[in-house]
Structure 1
């Protein structure tokens, strides 16, 4: 009899070697993937873009096909925070992409088909991505390139068994209401493993999270959707209390935010230079352009705009272990591009240097608890990249910091201790957990499982 999915996930998380996959084998494979990668990305001026241009009337940066995405303006008003009104550039990509993992059981252990994928904004070149990571424009071949590998597992008429499937948000400060479908399917038939793809267990993927800029954002987001059993919790329990849902609803009702799409030419406080759109204070982010050449994508050469953040962010959960299972201190994240006012995010989510230019230089709640935590209390601390298809070298320092039982950290209207089992329940639905929180949930899955200590080596 087949085990419940949560137990199969736990077994995969505890497995670091199988006849199909080992960490030493991954290390060699990854080395040769990097050697074979001849991708080149260079920054260019806007007038060197091909198939992209500034619209004559709006000033928006648009693709000639009308697809992919646009760089537009956003006018924001909110009733809280250090700034109550502003305008900014924003990425508008209304189409829903697919972030898909193919899973298959080998020798009684779930494996996941991962891809060594180049994205133009990746820090360090290749990163480990899901089986499929594609926008609708890409998998419908609007670029006139070759078909996306394995896409039929997610769009075909006879799809395999579905383990997880939900539309999830992406960065609400940089995207306007962006959603991607996060889906995991399990197959039983043989799968032809193409060059650049490799089966890995969940335990191996958790180990690889310890390496900077290796497991990409989309992989982390999809993996967070797996049912997971934490110590002290019933296996796979995903019940969400009415009290928590009411707290979220109250927060959404309390905060007033309006975000209106406007022409890029109407944005104030930003200046357009030949090679970038930049804030007048030199903060937040730039819009830049890049020229890309690669052999490993559906199209071998193209140009595109990217959003390039200033500075490395910090995203952290404070964690408390209880008899009923682990709890984390979540914060409400009001972001201009959110579809429903706010989502739950990390305890701390910020780029510290950006706060210097804000009125009054506001302090970030709990930031000192994270950055000044004693080393034994730091459960996880790795710099990981955000999505490289739209962002250039966007990176966050992801941290999990354990709070001692005697510490008093009171809840507030914007921070609340929540059981991991409840967060797992919220992940089944859209508009609840932001992408940084989903990354930290995947990292916490890694920390709180009892995987054996793997061999230490550099990639």
Structure 2
């Protein structure tokens, strides 16, 4: 593996960013030596993990240090007034499988920064990533973007240490901006939560701090196949990379054959698509206009069907999720000790993308999904997104359309299959099985689904609120297959 552990002399990049896709393609090609294990990275990761840790123990919601329960509403707030609150949400969807429900939800109106810094070394772009511990991570340490911070974090409401490298994203005009867009997060658990996803190419020297490492895009993509290693925020930012344009097939040395050839062609606008982009945009606007959804905040004490104890808030069925409290001691963080509420998912989720070759171009079957916390009602989601264990508590009409297709897929159909976790700062051990499954294209058109080329997804990701966070993770995983032979990207060591 070629991973820089010192700043070194960086090659300055001249001109505009018109060739960024080709430069990113060169970085995608740079992976572990001869496809071998990422030995250098693993040693660095393990050594840092010995110093950076979290010790998480359950704590009653009613006794969380630094948090208070509003006597009038029952809502949970941080004493500073920052970070986030846990409130109630009432949702009505007259034509949905469930027409009305209430639930707890995280309300975090401030917009955070998810920033990835890139720089060219010896003719190849590399990204600066950090090894970050989060209380909700099952394994503690995961790879994160250069900056992953809420507004309360970078304003130091917690009175902790400054956020490293924040200046590159607070004052990006001093450098080269590659991507800059606001994106949503889990609309089932957050109320209108958004983060600014940024990729900035640094001009000038960049100091290398403890806990950070320079990796090529290909090396990060290789780690995407390793269970629970690349965190949700890094996956989200990676999906925003503009990996589309003419000449990418030459840079990636694609011979045009098989799954990989269809995927590489799908990154080129000139290859076309089943549905023109204008038609997709019209479809999304139509879905957002005609979908009747009403979601409003309400006091946490007024939830119907939920049970509240001093320890937790949980659904009376025992399914879906619960709100728990944790007490955290951490090393390698801006703050060494804190308490907080978290959402704990019940059961492992399945998040899957069906893909098919249509006229020689790989397409993904995207679902126009309604989630109550979305700012604009509907976003494009993976083909399947659910927690199978919770389906028994829902009407049969709520079962995802293509779940059985995914679960019955033959091994040779599965192009990607890895367990990844969701955001460890708010969710406790929220694990999902992410899959990419190749199928024969169907001519049947479902009202809520559309076959979409990869270059169209890349174009939509230049704009806010078109792809949900689970879809963005799978776009990053799809990009990770650009340099694969087409065999399954599996879970290492599982």
- TM-score, length of structure 1 as denominator length: 0.94
Q: Establish whether residue 414 from structure 1 lines up as the match of residue 437 from structure 2.
A: no
**Aligned counterpart, 1:365:** 401
**C-alpha offsets along residues 378-401 of structure 1, whole Å, 9 cap, x if unaligned?**
000001010011111111110000
Cα separation, 1, equivalents of 2:53 and 2:75: 32
User: Which stretch of the first structure deviates more once superposed, 1-10 or 381-390?
Assistant: 1-10
**Aligned counterpart, 1:426:** 460
Unaligned stretches of 5+ residues in structure 2: 1-13, 245-262
Cα separation, 2, equivalents of 1:94 and 1:457: 37
Q: Establish whether residue 130 from structure 1 lines up as the match of residue 145 from structure 2.
A: yes
Q: Establish whether residue 84 from structure 1 lines up as the match of residue 99 from structure 2.
A: yes
Shift of 1:80: 2.5
**Aligned counterpart, 2:476:** 442
Q: What is the aligned length? A: 453
Q: Cα 1:218–1:236, aligned 2, differ >3 Å: closer, same or farther? A: farther
**Aligned counterpart, 1:328:** 364
**C-alpha offsets along residues 348-400 of structure 1, whole Å, 9 cap, x if unaligned?**
11111111011347432111111111101100000101001111111111000
**Aligned counterpart, 2:381:** 345
Cα separation, 1, equivalents of 2:293 and 2:398: 20
**Aligned counterpart, 1:253:** 289
8 Å Cα contact 2:174/2:203 also seen in 1: no
Q: How does 1:227-376 map to 2 (within 5 A)?
A: 227-229=242-244, 230-233=263-266, 235=268, 241-323=277-359, 325-360=361-396, 362-376=398-412
1:387 corresponds to which of 404, 423, 434 = 423
Determine helix, strand or coil for the equivalent of 2:120. Answer: strand
Determine helix, strand or coil for the equivalent of 2:409. Answer: coil
8 Å Cα contact 1:312/1:395 also seen in 2: yes
8 Å Cα contact 1:76/1:260 also seen in 2: yes
**Aligned counterpart, 2:109:** 94
1:25 corresponds to which of 40, 45, 62 = 40
Determine helix, strand or coil for the equivalent of 2:265. Answer: coil
Q: Establish whether residue 172 from structure 1 lines up as the match of residue 187 from structure 2.
A: yes
Q: Establish whether residue 68 from structure 1 lines up as the match of residue 101 from structure 2.
A: no
**C-alpha offsets along residues 271-312 of structure 1, whole Å, 9 cap, x if unaligned?**
111211000111111000101111211111010000111111
Shift of 1:23: 2.5
Determine helix, strand or coil for the equivalent of 1:65. Answer: coil
Shift of 1:123: 1.4
Q: Alignment RMSD, CA only? A: 2.2
8 Å Cα contact 2:266/2:453 also seen in 1: no
Q: Cα 1:202–1:234, aligned 2, differ >3 Å: closer, same or farther? A: closer
**C-alpha offsets along residues 90-115 of structure 1, whole Å, 9 cap, x if unaligned?**
00000000000010111111100010
8 Å Cα contact 1:99/1:182 also seen in 2: yes
**Aligned counterpart, 1:197:** 212
Q: Establish whether residue 160 from structure 1 lines up as the match of residue 193 from structure 2.
A: no
Determine helix, strand or coil for the equivalent of 2:221. Answer: helix
Determine helix, strand or coil for the equivalent of 1:439. Answer: helix
**Aligned counterpart, 2:165:** 150
Determine helix, strand or coil for the equivalent of 2:161. Answer: coil
Q: How does 1:95-110 map to 2 (within 5 A)?
A: 95-110=110-125
**Aligned counterpart, 1:207:** 222
Q: How does 1:2-17 map to 2 (within 5 A)?
A: 4-17=19-32
Shift of 1:238: 12
8 Å Cα contact 1:100/1:183 also seen in 2: yes
Shift of 1:16: 1.2
